Structure 1
Amino acid sequence: MTPSVLIITGYGVNCEAESSLAWERAGARPVRVHLNDLLAAPGRIHDFGALMFIGGFSYGDHMSSGHAMAVRVGHHLRDELRRFVEDGHLILGVCNGFQVMAKMGLVPAADGELLNPSVTVMRNDCGHFQNYWVDLRFEPDSPCVFTRGLERMELPIRHGEGKVFTPDAAVLEGIEKAGCVPVRYADAEGRPAQDYPANPNGSLNAIAGLCDPTGRLFGLMPHPEAYLFPENHPRWDHRKGEGRFPEYGEGLKLFLNAVECMRQA
């Protein structure tokens, strides 16, 4: 079986090429659909086993990154998205796509209230755009299907608003208790990093991504689709000389996990 994946395009998002390639290399069949075409026929969403909100600058980041897209998608597709999730399908959001998912309330939904936002993704503490590679650690107890079996990874970040934030300590505690933090920014020893530059945005609890309690909905700020080939890594030549040249870019592992999950469904 070749699972199919819906990739929403248009209105400033711009990672459709590398996102499509990621799913293809993982064994899925990605289909790019412009948001306008999806809103004209919202039932099309159910033709797919997974949905991806990709990176970029949807609606020019007006009123904060991801906000306008979240409002429009949430208003027009609320019932279809709820049914899509209830049917057990997967949703992935990367960078701007994660911002959209958080502001729409798809993640973390730790209290069981889908499409009811409990956190936001806001401006980096440093006050400006960040573009470099970060160290990540994955939490083995998280239910996230995308991160199963993963421990450490380096991925690039490219964002000006990546700080996961809530003013409510009880909300943050609930997110942690539900296992909705599958990935964190890490220091050189693999410990959760709160200080810049290991944590590029000041995200609470070093959160680099969030999932829902089922683990099927997942969003993260770093870009796994930007590390599909070993040569994508900025020090690939040094790694090759050290005998640490992987078969493929480590970002592909998240997509491989997702495709395996869809095949087993």
Structure 2
Amino acid sequence: MSGSSLYNAIMTERPTALILTAPGINCDEELCEAFTLAGANPIRVHIKQLVENPERLDEADLIGLPGGFSYGDAVAAGRIAAQVIRAHLWDGLRRAIERGVPMIAPCNGFQIAVQAGLLPGPDPDADLTDTPPSPRVALVDNESARFIDRWVRVEYPTDTICIWTRGLEPEPGGAMLPIAHGEGRFMSGGQLDSLQDSGRVAVRYAADDDPNGSEGAVAGICDASGLILGLMPHPERYTRWTQHPSWTRHGLDQLEGDPPGLAMFRNAVAWVRSHKSAAMQA
């Protein structure tokens, strides 16, 4: 196969997106649809199947931890699923991280990721540990002490290193994403300055639209590689313009492009394809 033919084959290939499911997870269908629309081939795998065969993680080009109420959010939101990951799946996920597999963890997935030790991950000058680290940030009860289900305005920092959100443009009137959570208030544990200075803040709530009292209005962070994104909003629920509450007010030019939610997934799929191509040509 010629170099150009190999490149074209890779750039049209549908990378495999492994979607982890568990009791109480309820956004796996939306996550699968988002990956499908972005050009990936999603495969749902129950957490018990991964515990029995963690090598399945080695097949993934992308990984998604969906939202929902895993294990009924018993003890705390995402706690039990995180403990299963720490006890049984850390080695497999560590291998995926070392291979450079992009991961996304919306809402309950974010809560799972921070308690499992996946986010914020090691500092830029540190190595990933063989054993799960203790959680360094937290997602706690909303300041209102209420479950919040609505659309919020968000911002994408221009200096972020996150491959999922980098380059996203704001919509007229401000970018918006849907949220639905009761434990979404981000607490940095004294690491906010470090996260900001290293470009690991990937999404912020707009200044006057922080729904839960998050420190620094942080809505999402990434690890030091920029590949692992955790966020409380649900980009997988905004892959079509018609899902926006005011989509009929958007201009026709805007409706020809991708909604921000879908754009995030396209960013990740494009990253996988480009790096596969570079690896094959090296």
TM-score normalised by the chain length of structure 1 = 0.91
1:133-184 CA-to-partner distances (Å, cap 9, x unmatched) read 1111111211111012114321100000101113x43x22222222110110
1:34 paired with 2:34, answer no
Q: 2:218 aligns with which of 170, 183, 207?
A: 207
Identical aligned residues as a percent: 41
Given candidates 94, 100, 110, the residue that maps to 2:106 is 94
Q: 2:201 aligned to 158, 178, 181, which one?
A: 181
Counterpart-to-counterpart distance in 2, 1:128 and 1:67: 19
Q: How many residues are aligned here?
A: 253
Structure 1's consecutive aligned runs of 4 or more residues displaced over 6 angstroms after TM superposition are: none
* Number of the residue aligned with 1:146: 164
> How many angstroms does 1:230 deviate by?
1.1
Take 2:250 and 2:98, find their aligned partners in 1: how far apart are those partners? Answer: 43
Higher radius of gyration, 1 or 2: 2
CA contact (8 A) 2:139 2:187 kept: yes
Task: Find 1:261's aligned residue among 238, 250, 271.
Answer: 271
Aligned pairs for 1:128-167 (under 5 A) are 128-152=146-170, 153-166=175-188
Change in 2 beyond 3 A, CA 1:42/1:110? closer
Q: Is contact 1:139–1:151 with CA below 8 Å preserved after alignment?
A: no
Equivalent in the alignment of 2:145 = 127
- Alignment check: 8 A CA contact 1:8 1:35 kept: yes
Match of 1:12 in 2: 24
Tell me, yes or no, if the aligned pair for 1:125 and 1:163 is still in contact at 8 Å.
Answer: yes
The structure where helix makes up a greater share of residues is 2
User: Which sections of structure 1, spanning at least 5 residues, go unmatched?
Assistant: 187-192
Code of the aligned partner of 2:270: E
Summarize deviations over 1:84-106 as a string: whole Å, max 9, x none.
10111111100000111111121
Please report how far the alpha carbon of residue 246 of structure 1 lies from its aligned counterpart in structure 2 after TM superposition. Answer: 4.3
Deviation at 1:248, TM superposition (A): 4.0
Structure 1 position 206, deviation (Å): 0.5
Residue of structure 2 in register with 1:51 after alignment: 63
d(CA) in 1 for partners of 2:256, 2:22: 34
Q: Is the 8 A contact 1:131 1:159 kept in 2?
A: yes
> In 1, Cα distance between the equivalents of 2:186 and 2:271?
27
2:260 aligned counterpart, secondary structure: coil
Q: Which runs of 5+ in 2 are unaligned?
A: 1-12, 276-282
**Secondary structure at 2:76 match in 1:** coil
